[in-house]
Amino acid sequence: MHNAPSEPRTVLVVVAHPDDAEFGCGGTLAAWAAEGWEITLVICTDGSAGGPDDATDVGPEARRRISEIRKAEQRAAAEILGLKEVVFLDYPDGMLQPSIELRRDIVRQIRRIRAQRVVCQSPDRVWTPQYSIPRFHPDHLAAANATVAAVYPAAQNGWDFPELLAEGYPPSKVRELYITGAPVLNYAVDISATIEQKLAALRCHVSQLGTDQTELAQRVRQWAAERGQEFGLALAEAFHRVEN
Ligand SMILES: [Zn+2]
């Protein structure tokens, strides 16, 4: 999409957890950042439920600790991708709801940076075997539903969340919405030049993905090659893209 020079080249990425963006669109974000887009990453949860599945120490202190570790990992990954900032909305991990409060918090971020592009996870489940279970994480669905509702109409409609007008955030229209992991993928970004940045960013998430990510890197390359093949590119990330 063509952007006049006066328009801000701003992107808001909204996901549920630290590392979601790297998996879904890390190569794309690095490519856009290299093109001069200013990218803000919003993490809806505090990442406080991201330890090993068999952990038994899951009390408040353990949650506080893992939350801090994951935030630091996310900031390091964002730096590798060339993102401008990371914003944590700090909803409790594992309990995210597509609430009006979450929608308002996302609208505030869209309006604050006057986001031209918004990237989010899929609000729809995909019932095909090649998709893995994590795509069905209820936090992902909640973050996605709240984001799609924030993009239209709330971000561009002054009647929605008048309290944001009082905060100094007038309505702002998003031009393009990109949905990762959607049932229908109609747009791909060539990540051949940025796959190494994506992998390096994933390597920051040691608490979730461990230190030996050789196998993971192979899988990520394989996914990118499969997506690329569908769109005539070497390595790609794919989206459902809609213009507003
Ligand atoms: Zn996640």
Counting the structural domains of the chain, the total is 1
- Predicted local confidence at residue 55, as pLDDT: 83
Domain assignment present for 11: no
CA of 18 to the centre of ligand 1 (A): 7
For residue 182, the enclosing domain spans: 16-243
pLDDT of residue 133: 57
Q: What is the pLDDT of residue 125?
A: 87
Q: Give yes or no for a contact between 134 and 141, defined as CB atoms under 8 angstroms apart.
A: no
**Cα 47 to Cα 118: distance, rounded to the nearest angstrom:** 21
Residue 89 domain-assigned (yes or no) = yes
Mean pLDDT by 10 residues, the chain (244 residues): 66 98 98 98 95 84 95 98 98 97 98 98 84 74 98 98 98 98 95 98 96 96 97 98 97
Residues with CB under 5 A from ligand 1 (ion): 16-17, 20
Interval between CA 160 and ligand 1 midpoint (Å)? 28
Cβ atoms 14, 44 nearer than 8 A: yes
How many Cβ atoms are within 10 Å of 36's Cβ, its own excluded? 7
| CA 183 to ligand 1 center in whole angstroms | 18
**Residue 80 counted as domain residue:** yes
pLDDT at residue 3, rounded to an integer: 47
Q: What's the 3 CA to ligand 1 centre distance in angstroms?
A: 31
| Rounded-to-integer distance, Cα 119 and Cα 137, Å | 17
Compute, in angstroms, the gap from residue 137 CA to the centroid of ligand 1. Answer: 7
State the distance from the centre of ligand 1 to the C-alpha of 92, rounded, in angstroms: 13
Residue 207 in any domain: the answer is yes
Considering the domain boundaries, does residue 84 fall inside one? yes
Give dist(CA 191, CA 182) in Å, integer: 18
Note whether residue 175 is domain-resident: yes
CATH code for position 160:
3.40.50.10320
2, part of any domain: no
Q: Are 44 and 74 in contact (CB under 8 A)?
A: no
63 vs 4, 21, 44, 47, 50, CA distance in Å? 45, 21, 16, 8, 8
Residue 49 in any domain: the answer is yes
